[in-house]
Structure 1
Amino acid sequence: MRMGEPPAVRSRDFTGSAVRILKLLAPNRAMTAAVLLLGIGGIAVGVIGPRILGHATDLLFNGVIGRQLPAGLTREQAIDAARAAGDDRFADLLAGSGAVPGQGIDFAAVARTLALALVLYLVAALMVWLQARLLNVVVQRTMAGLRTSVEEKVHRLPLQYFDTRRRGEVLSRVTNDVDNVQQSLQMSITQLLTSVLTVVAVLVMMLTISPLLTLLTVVTVPLSLWVTRSIARRSRRLFVAQWTNVGKLNAHIEETYSGFTVVKTFGHRAQAEDQFRELNADVYQASFGAQFLSGLVSPATIFVGNLSYVAVAVVGGLQVATGQITLGNIQAFIQYVRQFNQPLTQIAGMYNTLQSGVASAERVFDLLDAEEETPDPPRALPAPTGDGGRVVFEHVSFGYQSGVPVIENLSLDVAPGTTVAIVGPTGAGKTTLVNLLMRFYDLDAGRILLDGVDIATVSRGSLRSRIGMVLQDTWLFGGTIYDNIAYGRPDATRDEVLDAARAAYVDRFVHTLPDAYDTRINDGGTNISAGEKQLITIARAFLARPQLLVLDEATSSVDTRTEVLIQQAMARLRRDRTSFLIAHRLSTIRDADVILVLDGGRIVEQGSHDELLARRGEYWTMTRA
């Protein structure tokens, strides 16, 4: 059963998911604290700059005004003289300044002030650079830990998790979504941390200059937050839909290209392209809507911020004219207004990144929170004895879905060294029986014994190490032929690997390849035939030297001549081993010690090939079909 997940309509818990992302930083808390301290220090030093530059402006302004006044007067006398002449505005301006009559610009003081500002800016830049370097290390370590958690989780998930989801959907979660979380975390933490600290520091500096102007600046913040929240609420569900649709598109592409030959053979190219266009359009619409809405946040907050900027400029100009504030201070304050609004705009502009990252994080967390296999007992199977390999099914019942049994009350006793062939119609439970023996699924009722030990009471690793499996669907990784055979037992010597290759008749074709056993298998194994791939997997089983052997249509992909060779090799491999064969070809199963005929999850017939033919029952009917 394979199906895609229903599309998510909106983020279920933005705040909770964002907090959970931040908790991922906990293992690097010391370095994270250093990042915070450097950020605070760098911004604290940086925000002093406008105040110092404002002082330099005051020095220049005072020098210009003072040079225009007669020397020998005090500032108070100059103010009284201006008022006596009816120039009250100039008197107020002079009262609010520090001009000294007759004294021009103190260029030495201006130089010292500018030098101090330069040093402070350099120190701030250095601290911000160190913060960025440390933050990069924190994020990379955090994401490496997340990838490790995802990888370990995948191996702890039951087979049912993958049977109920499309491969492309799962791959999208462990690749695209994890990468998107990393990108969002890298961008958001850097900007968010810097922006929040800057807002706080700038707010403090503005309050030291003018509480009234600060109030005019801050009064627009709730409006900015309301605009941001309103837009973000609408874009959030689109970001979730975007990454859900990306998963569906990846699943379609993976399935189409993995079965590209079948698609072309049956003339489904047009249908596949139509489905691609439909899924691609879904991704486009969700992505366009999400980016468009989130893109409105930045211009909207800039507009609201400019309202406060205009208010400060008007009121501040009046205060300078009336001597309530110096020109340098209003210059510094206007700079602070820009610094105050810029982080708010950045925070608002990050909403698309945050929304996208949280949407991907929720999909990754769904995987991490998925129900795992039942805990593995620490006990291992006892060492096999010379006559080991007895398998007993006692009243076994199982169903993939509750209330829909696939196997019902099945009992079977397989003697050591016996070859058991399992036949029956599609859906009879043949592969399910083997999956239960491998503990890919847990039983609903009954138990399975291996040499008298209930397999549910031992670790899966110790159980599966006793079983060799050759499937109809071959799996080879991107390595050499030698490496793929050695996969069955990594500690095997080269001679043992080559012996296994000869036993499985891999040696028969491998020397026709350019690099023999060092020939690399490309992606999907397209540089060798299907039969040759099957031979390699059989050689892998030879090398593993299992106590039990499972062959699921193992010879279905080979030609008649190769099948004869494989059957001879399998006869040697099955010697003194308990073997289970799932096959439809009579030539594969007729020599089995016992043939089980399954139908509806029950054993309807059991016996040797000749015995079952003599009964003229279900097996006889199958051979005549």
Structure 2
Amino acid sequence: MSGPWRAFSAQEEERKRTVPDTVLIKRLYNYVKPFRRNLAIAIIAIVLSSLTGLAAPYMHKVAIDQIIQTGELTNFLWWIPLFALVVLCNFLFQHVQIFQMRIVGENVVSLIRDEIMEKLQVISLRYFSESEMGRIISRPINDANNLRIFLRMGFTSILLDTSSILGAFVIMFMLDFELTLIALSFIPLAIVVVWLLGRYSRRVYRKTLSTLAGLTARMQEDASGIKIIQSFVQEDRARKRFEEAQEENVKANKRALLVSSAYQPVVIMMRIIGSLLILWYGAIFVGSGAITIGTLVAFIEYQFSYFMPLVDLVNVADQYNSAMAAVERLFDLIDAEIEVVEPPPEIAVELK
């Protein structure tokens, strides 16, 4: 990323990423390293949160099969406190992971913004004259915010969803191998549908970000040059250009809203179909005595434990790509070439 800088223009907004993710992640880790203790605590809390979350469906199975079905209701005296403890621990671990990842995200973004501000103090004037100021400002604000959101939520979702999916699969296979295979048979179709919808939504969402950056740049340029606009009586022209930029942003947001409004119903429909599949064959297995009612209930709950995280991982992929693109643009600004270098203090001319 070092070398000649690129002007931040509308074409730059549409530029495809060229730096490998591994390079970006290694460099980003240098900013995370001072807070690796917080990161380690968050990862441990994420794993424990996943384990306690997966324990609840199995405890429901135990309650149905070994307490309700047998009529030994006195066993609820130990089951209820144990279940309450599991739920309490789950909430506690979630709080720890959220708090620790917020510490990491806020501090990492703060370090990057400080470095960007230092670079802007010494960068060449030609850099500003050939770039749109609004787009430069959007780097330490919008792009840094995208990175913060990913560190606070996206990274956590990747670890939590992965551990939840793997844990749910292991427990389901332990409960009943055949019913698990039936439940998993629907996953490829669901992933393809969600991925196709997510792919289109990503393209629409990128357009909204691009038009928003253009609108920000237009507002900044018109506001900073308002004296010149008024001096040359260009108010109508400035208003027209602003309305055009705003109209593009509104159209992009409408398309994004149309996609987002259809996304959740599709996901819910996919989950309902998966649940019906488990209920249909699960009822047959219960009737034949292959599994218990408690096992069927646990399967329905575990279906939610792996299906929604799978959908979430597909969505996080977009958040990850957005964060990596933001990181690349942030590093582009940090690595911008300084054409006029300050002289060493010993030969600098002191003005009195």
TM-score (norm 2): 0.85
Note the alpha carbon deviations across 1:523-578, whole angstroms, 9 max, x for none. Answer: xxxxxxxxxxxxxxxxxxxxx50xxxxxxxxxxxxxxxxxxxxxxxxxxxxxxxxx
Q: CA RMSD in A?
A: 3.0
Inter-CA distance 364–22: structure 2 relative to 1 (3 Å threshold): closer
Larger radius of gyration: 1
Helix, strand or coil for the counterpart of 2:62? helix
Q: Aligned residues: percent identity? A: 23
Inter-CA distance 346–3: structure 2 relative to 1 (3 Å threshold): closer
Once the 2 structures are TM-superposed, how far is the Cα of residue 318 of structure 1 from its aligned partner?
0.9
**Equivalent residue for 1:313?**
279
- Output aligned runs, 1:94-105, within 5 Å: 105=71
**Equivalent residue for 1:303?**
269
Establish whether residue 137 from structure 1 lines up as the match of residue 95 from structure 2: no
Helix, strand or coil for the counterpart of 1:267? coil
Once the 2 structures are TM-superposed, how far is the Cα of residue 297 of structure 1 from its aligned partner?
4.3
More strand by share: 1
Most deviating of 22-31 and 162-171: 22-31
**Equivalent residue for 2:349?**
466
Q: Distance in 2 between matches of 1:256 and 1:221?
A: 51
Q: Distance in 1 between matches of 2:261 and 2:346?
A: 56
One-letter amino acid matched to 2:44:
L
**Equivalent residue for 2:114?**
148
**Equivalent residue for 2:36?**
29
Once the 2 structures are TM-superposed, how far is the Cα of residue 291 of structure 1 from its aligned partner?
4.9
- Output aligned runs, 1:4-43, within 5 Å: 4-6=9-11, 8-9=13-14, 11-12=16-17, 16=21, 20=25, 23=29, 24-43=31-50
Once the 2 structures are TM-superposed, how far is the Cα of residue 328 of structure 1 from its aligned partner?
1.2
Once the 2 structures are TM-superposed, how far is the Cα of residue 276 of structure 1 from its aligned partner?
0.4
**Equivalent residue for 2:3?**
none
Inter-CA distance 295–37: structure 2 relative to 1 (3 Å threshold): farther
**Equivalent residue for 1:373?**
338
Once the 2 structures are TM-superposed, how far is the Cα of residue 267 of structure 1 from its aligned partner?
2.3
Q: Distance in 1 between matches of 2:292 and 2:223?
A: 71
Q: Distance in 2 between matches of 1:120 and 1:303?
A: 30
Once the 2 structures are TM-superposed, how far is the Cα of residue 311 of structure 1 from its aligned partner?
0.8
Inter-CA distance 320–255: structure 2 relative to 1 (3 Å threshold): same
One-letter amino acid matched to 2:241:
Q
Q: Which runs of 5+ in 1 are unaligned?
A: 64-104, 375-438, 441-458, 468-543, 546-625
Note the alpha carbon deviations across 1:455-506, whole angstroms, 9 max, x for none. Answer: xxxx525389526xxxxxxxxxxxxxxxxxxxxxxxxxxxxxxxxxxxxxxx
Once the 2 structures are TM-superposed, how far is the Cα of residue 111 of structure 1 from its aligned partner?
2.5
**Equivalent residue for 1:344?**
310
Note the alpha carbon deviations across 1:4-42, whole angstroms, 9 max, x for none. Answer: 341544643697289638635344333212211111112
CA contact (8 A) 1:245 1:279 kept: yes
CA contact (8 A) 2:101 2:151 kept: no
One-letter amino acid matched to 2:96:
L
Once the 2 structures are TM-superposed, how far is the Cα of residue 319 of structure 1 from its aligned partner?
0.8
One-letter amino acid matched to 1:50:
P
Q: Distance in 1 between matches of 2:24 and 2:199?
A: 18
Helix, strand or coil for the counterpart of 2:9? coil
**Equivalent residue for 2:4?**
none
Note the alpha carbon deviations across 1:139-165, whole angstroms, 9 max, x for none. Answer: 112111221232233345333322211
CA contact (8 A) 2:215 2:242 kept: yes
Note the alpha carbon deviations across 1:303-339, whole angstroms, 9 max, x for none. Answer: 2232221111111111111111111111111111122
More helix by share: 2
CA contact (8 A) 2:98 2:152 kept: no
Q: Distance in 1 between matches of 2:251 and 2:206?
A: 12
One-letter amino acid matched to 1:272:
A
Length, aligned pairs only: 344
Helix, strand or coil for the counterpart of 1:460? coil
Q: Distance in 2 between matches of 1:322 and 1:159?
A: 79
- Output aligned runs, 1:479-498, within 5 Å: none
Helix, strand or coil for the counterpart of 2:338? coil
Inter-CA distance 217–365: structure 2 relative to 1 (3 Å threshold): farther
Establish whether residue 334 from structure 1 lines up as the match of residue 217 from structure 2: no
Q: Which runs of 5+ in 2 are unaligned?
A: 1-6
Inter-CA distance 177–287: structure 2 relative to 1 (3 Å threshold): farther
Inter-CA distance 19–363: structure 2 relative to 1 (3 Å threshold): closer
One-letter amino acid matched to 1:373:
I
Note the alpha carbon deviations across 1:223-271, whole angstroms, 9 max, x for none. Answer: 2332333233334344444333333322221221122233233322111
Most deviating of 111-120 and 349-358: 349-358
Once the 2 structures are TM-superposed, how far is the Cα of residue 205 of structure 1 from its aligned partner?
1.4
Helix, strand or coil for the counterpart of 2:69? helix
Establish whether residue 245 from structure 1 lines up as the match of residue 211 from structure 2: yes
